Amino acid sequence: MNTQNGICSQPVNSVLSVETAAKDSTGRLRERKECSDAEEDNSNKVLKDTLRLRTEEMDQREVLSSYCAEHPHLPKPPDVMTTKTISSARVRRRKLKANQENLTDPMGPWSSTDSLQGDGASWPPISSTDVLQNGQNAADSALSDSGRDVSTSGDQEGGLSDPEGKNTNLYDPTVCRAKIQLPPLQPSGPSPAAELCAASTSLKTSNQIDRDCEDYEAAGRVGSEHLHSNHCDSRLSETMVSDNTSLNSMKSTFSVLNPIRPRDARNRSFLEGSVLGHGALLGAGELDRYFPERRAGVYIVTWNMQGEKDFPSNLDDLLLPLDAEIAQDLYIIGVQEGCADRREWEIRLQETLGPYYVMLYAAAHGVLYLSVFIRRDLIWFCSEVEHATVTTRIISQIKTKGAVGVSFTFFGTSFLFITSHFTSGENKVYERILDYNKIIEALTLPRMLPDTNPYRSVASDVTTRFDEVFWFGDFNFRLSKDRAGVEVILKDELGSDMGPLLQYDQLSKEMKDGAIFKGFQEAPIHFLPTYKFDIGYDVYDTTSKQRTPSYTDRILYRSRQKDDIKVVRYSCCSSVKTSDHRPVIGIFQVKLQPGRDNIPLGAGQFDRDLYLEGIRRRITRELKWKEAMKNQKNSSVCSIS
């Protein structure tokens, strides 16, 4: 029985084992199929979620594009994303949705407005374009990873893993900061055309008023009320003119200064400047900018004041005549027998010339005064100023006769201005020639300033050491004719032809013979003799001495190069009658040359105290005039018919 049972039981057990194995195999197949179905369902779900996410992103991008600032798109990072879990994808979607909500909220911390107005907060602003771009990259990575095995280890914070295992956070501030690139601002429209208000077509840049006033006036025309309000004098603003230089400087927030490039600031040197170098302060570039035709205006006045204490009530006719087309760049005023209060005289000059000019230098020798005024925007191009004096009196303590010389270099052109008072007397021609020779030999100029052309200089003649020389004053040369004969000529209708008188002029004869003022020239004279008048009247000397009318007050000039000096005007100021001499005026156009920066520069020095006092008096005078006009307007006269 046991044998039979053993024999019979073995087949049964085999069958059972086979059935069990079949069942196990069928179960494992069913389980594998179920797992495969589950994986396929999960993959399809991830794919559907990703497609839905991309659709939402595209819709959100269309919504944001209507009001979000547009920024340059950055290139996509390379697709190095590894496998991601389903939970990490959900976290990314939640963060993306939160960022999109913050972007759409105008008051949110990540709004595009705050990103432009932020001032260095702990988290830099992220533009909407960058967030959408990151979401796009995440979606693409999810699509590419949908068919791969899913891993539960790794990124639970929404970060991305690179092939080397280093995490890169999409919302890292440093990454976002590198991606923010704002486009350059573009003007909303073309700038309005600026019109010139110059009264004359021949007006040149070198003869216009200061550029700061031009810029303010031009700014007022284009609507800058703030700059225009700085002008308190409406009458000055009506006469302002503009130029291309000022208009170009206004393109940068109405700046009144021309821009300087860093390269120019690095290369500019004030010790070893080149004549043709772009960075030289006195070079051709700066000279052409201020003087396109390379000619500067020089206004010269010589006047024997006869020691009078009383000044004319108004010096405008002397320095700023209305019949002159433009104001000049340099004003040189030489006085003989000046008033006792020299400082008061200089203040009156500053008051008359106004805020556009400053006194560069002033020198004196007894009662001989020499004042140099220059446009305030040109003082930077002047060297240090030197002066020297010479007395021609036997007793040197008496300083009524002699000369005062002032010299300086302007750009690359050297100037010498001399005012002198020679020996008086109708027949003392020889003594006046001696005075001239003593002055040219004893005037020790220049001292520290380099000679611009030493090969043409003569040690015994100071006038040969400078490019441009102006010599003016009371030379005391007379007409070699008696008083009666001169009066007969004056009674004739001379008009502008003074030849009948000048044929008796002692100075013209001596210059023609080469005895005095060698190399000098004088403009044609078309005005009556300036000496000697009764004070306050247009009548020649009626005293017992009956002095002969003469051309004692003269202005002469000399230049190293021919035609460097052109005469614009040569006349007398007949409206000033406080002396027995009439002031003589000369206006010249002088050619300038570029220079080197190896000269001792004046560094913009001028008499500041004199300037402030002169402007204060000018303002006071203006206020008094306005008050008088107001009172005159308010006054009324009643009449009974």
- Report which of 378, 474, 377 is spatially closest to residue 422, judged by C-alpha positions: 474
Q: State the amino acid at position 476 in one-letter form.
A: N
Per DSSP, 601 falls in state B
| Model confidence band, residue 35 (pLDDT cutoffs 50, 70, 90) | low
Q: Tell me the per-residue pLDDT of 210-254, one tens digit each, with 9 for 90 and over.
A: 444 444 444 444 444 433 333 333 333 344 344 444 444 334 344
Comparing 101-115, 306-320, 470-484, the range with the smallest average pLDDT is 101-115
Return the minimum-mean-pLDDT range out of 89-98, 168-177, 421-430.
168-177
pLDDT classification of 344: cutoffs 50, 70, 90: very high
- Tell me: pLDDT of 635 over 50: yes
d(CA 499, CA 493) in angstroms, rounded, equals 12
Q: How far apart are CA 287 and CA 280, in angstroms?
A: 10
Average pLDDT (200-210) is 43
Check residue 511 and give its pLDDT. Answer: 97
The answer, yes or no, to whether residue 487 has pLDDT greater than 60, is yes
Query: Cα–Cα distance between 557 and 559 in angstroms, integer?
Result: 7
pLDDT at 399: 76
Contact 358, 605 (CB under 8 A): no
135 pLDDT more than 60: no
Nearest-angstrom CA–CA distance, 593 and 467: 10
Q: Using pLDDT thresholds of 50, 70 and 90, give the confidence band for residue 532.
A: very high
**Residue 610 — pLDDT band, cuts 50, 70, 90?**
very high
Give, as one character, the DSSP assignment of residue 562: T
Q: What is the pLDDT of residue 49?
A: 74
Quote the mean pLDDT of the chain.
74
- Give the pLDDT score at 632: 80
Cβ pair 559, 469 in contact under 8 A:
yes
Higher pLDDT: 174 or 301? It is 301
> Could you read off the pLDDT of 239-295 as tens digits, one per residue?
434 444 444 433 434 445 567 778 766 766 555 445 555 557 888 888 998 999 999
Q: How many CA atoms lie within 13 A of 76 on its CB side?
A: 14
The CA distance from 3 to 131, in Å, is: 83
Supply the pTM of this predicted model. Answer: 0.62
Q: Is the pLDDT of residue 325 over 90?
A: no
Average pLDDT over residues 599-624: 92
pLDDT score, position 2: 43
Q: What pLDDT does 93 receive?
A: 67
Rounded Cα distance between 447 and 387, Å, is: 9
308 touches 339 (CB < 8 A): yes
* Per-residue pLDDT reduced to its tens digit, 167-192: 444 445 444 444 566 676 666 666 66
Closest CA to 452 of 610, 349, 552, 599: 599
pLDDT of 337: 94
**150: pLDDT strictly greater than 50:** no
- What is the pLDDT at residue 314? 87
Closest to 215 measured CA to CA, from 161, 184, 255, 253: 255
Mean pLDDT of 56-84: 53
Q: What pLDDT is recorded for position 305?
A: 95
Residue holding tokens 């006194």?
A: 359
Q: Burial of 508 by CB count in 10 Å (0-12 exposed, 13-18 middle, 19+ buried)?
A: middle
Q: Summarize pLDDT for 375-389 with one digit per residue, the tens.
A: 999 999 999 999 999
